[in-house]
Structure 1
């Protein structure tokens, strides 16, 4: 059985940092911080300026654990309780969802909801309902 540990202070600080980063990106560049949009624009940038800010944002996301390590003296614990094939299948499913949903949870859930975008509200409600159903099935029907 997978155990979920409630971490209110870590969750709150992470949420504040994500919100701050999204707000600063919107204020400084007028861009929405959706992780998959940032990554896809990095792979096929429209200009050098587009590449630069996307690369800087991605570098910040990737080096975040190093900052935690420097502040606490230990790397954040990451446990992945599934196999590599399951991760690959999950990644493909998420990729399809991002494509058909015109964005990811960070773009719709953080930025779109803050802008009261009807499309993002529907997308976020869909993400949440699907998550609740998946957790219920995995934990209570399958018994994972």
Structure 2
């Protein structure tokens, strides 16, 4: 049986609303979809005059987490730790990068922005992401670690 340890509906609702507002704002102001892989990719492979807002967006994501913790709202966040080693985390990160390139977007781009725009392609991508995540968790938890 699964036990929910940190049930936080208020902060989750507020966070979701803020993500939706920021995605809508970026689409209205810049005409861009708030897909994190695409935003980060534009920093790694920049186009002239199109980098500063991307850096600010990514910095806002990182700084926002620190502000949340500093305000005391992130109770319990300091107890999160990876259950695998650094090589596995690096490999997973690289696989995510390859997957977002092949899938032409990530969960934020397709799952939040694409679904909000009723994009059939984003629906297929999001269902694929989620199904792959379910299978991956099952394999890692039940086949590699013996049911941990």
TM-score, with normalisation over the residues of structure 2? 0.84
Output the aligned Cα RMSD: 2.2
More helix by share: 1
Q: Which residue number corresponds to residue 94 of structure 2?
A: 92
Pairing 1:63-142 to 2, within 5 Å after superposition = 63-72=63-72, 76-77=77-78, 78-141=80-143, 142=146
Of structures 1 and 2, the one with the larger relative CO (CA 8 A, separation 6+) is 1
> Deviations along 1:4-61, whole A, 9 cap, x unmatched?
634333322222221111011011111000001001101222122x111111101101
**1:112 and 1:136 mapped to 2: Cα distance?**
27
Alignment partners' CA distance in 1, 2:108 and 2:11: 18
Q: 1:143 matched to which residue of 2? A: 147
Unaligned runs of 5+ in 2: none
3-state SS of paired residue (1:102): coil
Q: Secondary structure at the match of 1:72?
A: coil
2:48 maps to: 47
TM-score (norm 1): 0.86
Number of residue pairs the alignment of both structures matches: 142
